[in-house]
Amino acid sequence: MTAMLSIGDLARATGVKPTTIRWYEQEGWLPPAARTEGGHRAYGPAHLRRLGFIRHARELGFQSAAIRALLDLASHPEADCSQAHDLATAQIRDIDDRLRRLSALRAELERMATSCAGGVVGECRVIETLADFGHGHCGDPEHGAMPRA
């Protein structure tokens, strides 16, 4: 029999905080842990593998709903994997969108910094550009929109 892990041991083995492990268990992402005679949680190899799966999905940027769907798929090895493919390609599109926004933000910051020659704050191009939030240079469609009250 494989040794059971305490929540602290599981946290150290996966890099996931104990409070997050408890939350995953509460939300049904992890099956309930066995309990020791003293009432402490005791996790096995299946918990370790599943928590590693969740952590890796998080590192890849998957949102909660996608992780739930992927966990469900993982528990049905005979099922068609087209949904997993769809979730992965949707994540790729999301990353591409974020990269485009980041690239536009970088270009705007570079434009601001390049146009700032130093001097006094009252004539600072960085400060002036930041104050002009409706300029439309950043390439983000929401940028420049007036905040809703």
Q: Is the pLDDT of residue 143 over 70?
A: no
127 CB-near residues (< 8 Å, 6+ apart): 121
Three-state SS for 65? Answer: helix
What are the tens digits of pLDDT across the range 38-80?
999 999 999 999 999 999 999 999 999 999 999 999 999 999 9
Q: CA 147 to CA 127: how far, in whole Å? A: 20
Residues present in the chain in total: 149
Identity of the residue numbered 91 = Q
pLDDT score for 118: 74
What are the tens digits of pLDDT across the range 79-100?
999 999 999 999 999 999 999 9
What are the tens digits of pLDDT across the range 99-132?
999 999 999 888 888 887 777 887 787 888 788 8
The number of beta carbons lying within 10 Å of the beta carbon of residue 60 is 13
The top-level CATH class assigned to 7-63 is: mainly alpha
pTM: 0.74
